[in-house]
Structures are given as structure tokens and as C-alpha cells.
Amino acid sequence: MKKFLFVCVAFAAVTLFSNSASAQVKIGYFDEQAALSLFPGIAKIDTLLNSYRLDSLQEEYKYNVSDFQRRDSIFKKDSATMPAKARELATRELLQLRYKLVNWQEYSQQMEQAKYEELVGPYRQRLYTAVQEVIAEQKYTIVLKAEVISPYGTPNLLDNITIRAAQKLKLALPKEIEDAWKAASGSSSAPAKPKPAGKG
């Protein structure tokens, strides 16, 4: 019975593989960080994060330290006369606050990451929409992260979905990338919106 089941599974796998092998496979690659860096105004996110770190997180830390010291002082002074339930509740609150302070670095990193995600979200959404359109238009079946591509082989520049998405969003590309794109595609048209020529 097990041999029969194994043969059936093997046959199904071979059949599926042979069907999918005959289908055209088109592979593209994408670098989200490189694409996000092309957006005008994205650099202000660093400034906003620094402001959040100094104005919000640092102030929250100072408040938590003073709150812990105040509660600890009150607890040490009044714990002997507190009812058992109140002492248990105060102890639990102090332990939670102490845990938060001891693990403050991890907490602040999580909060910074959440703030970063909130700030970069609108850019990511526009980028995601453009990437989905490029994948559909160009009929890519597989999309890889650019960093998983071997450094020993050079992928086709025309399969760089980062560049295609930037074109779709009319983001300015560095000149060397524009020139390489023109050379690879054999076209003389610029991939991004051309800059106005200077007078003279």
C-alpha cells in the first residue's frame, strides 16, 4: 500500500513538473530599499525618526524612570501597612514597570520600527501598486529579492523590476542607471521623466 501511494505521488509530481516546465518562466528581481530611496522626500523620514526618538521615546523613558522611583519609594514606605491585595497589585505594577525599564532598548527599537513602518507606509503602498502593475504587464512568474541573486552572475538589467517600477512612478533615476537601461534596451528614450534642458 505504501509503495503504491509513493508511486502515485511520484507520478503526480512528475506530471506537474513536466506541465510547469513547458510553461514560460520569466524571472524578475526587485530591491525595495533601492526603490524607496528614489522617492523625493523620503529622506525626511530620518529627521522625523530622530525627532520621535528625542521628543517622544526619550521623554517617555524619563517619565517611566521618575514614575518607577516614585512608586518604589511609596511602596517601600507603605508596604508594611498595605492590605495584602493592594500590596500584591503594587508589587505587580512595580515589576511590570521595572521590566519595561530593564528592556527599554528592545522596547524603544520596536517603537522606532513601528514609527518607521507608519512613515514609510504611503511610499511602500505606491511602490507595491507599481510593482504589481509591472509584474502583470511584463508577465513575470517569479520575482526574487535582488540580494539573493548570485554576485558571480549578472542578471539581465531589463528584468530589474525596481527600475521598471520607478519608471511607472516617474521617479528620477541616477544617470548611470538611465544610461545602462538605454544601452540594454537599445532605446534612446529615457526611462524616467527627462529633466528640462538648460537654456544657453
pLDDT in tens, the chain (200 residues): 444 444 444 444 444 455 555 568 889 999 999 999 999 989 899 999 999 999 999 999 999 999 999 999 988 898 888 898 988 999 999 999 999 999 999 999 999 999 999 999 999 999 999 999 999 999 999 998 888 887 787 888 899 999 999 999 999 999 999 998 999 888 654 444 444 444 44
The gap from C-alpha 183 to its chain's centroid, in whole angstroms, comes to 31
Q: How far apart are CA 28 and CA 144, in angstroms?
A: 6
Amino acid at residue number 93: E
pLDDT attached to residue 4 = 41
Answer whether residue 120 is part of any domain: yes
Answer whether residue 74 is part of any domain: yes
Q: How far apart are CA 125 and CA 123, in angstroms?
A: 5
Answer whether residue 161 is part of any domain: yes
Q: How far apart are CA 149 and CA 16, in angstroms?
A: 26
pLDDT attached to residue 151 = 78
Name the CA dihedral angle for 114, 115, 117, 123, rounded to a multiple of 10 degrees.
170
DSSP class of 156: P
Answer whether residue 32 is part of any domain: yes
Domain count, the chain: 1
Range of the domain at 159: 26-185
C-alpha cell at 40: 523625493
Q: How far apart are CA 160 and CA 134, in angstroms?
A: 10
Answer whether residue 5 is part of any domain: no
Answer whether residue 9 is part of any domain: no
41 backbone φψ class: left, alpha, beta (φ>0; ψ -120 to 50): left
In sequence order, the 6+-apart residues with CB closer than 8 A to the CB of 166 are: 35, 38, 173, 191, 192
Answer whether residue 85 is part of any domain: yes
The gap from C-alpha 146 to its chain's centroid, in whole angstroms, comes to 14
Q: How far apart are CA 141 and CA 152, in angstroms?
A: 23
Answer whether residue 78 is part of any domain: yes
pLDDT attached to residue 67 = 93
DSSP class of 163: H
Q: Is 191 exposed, middle or buried (0-12, 13-18, 19+ CB in 10 A)?
A: buried
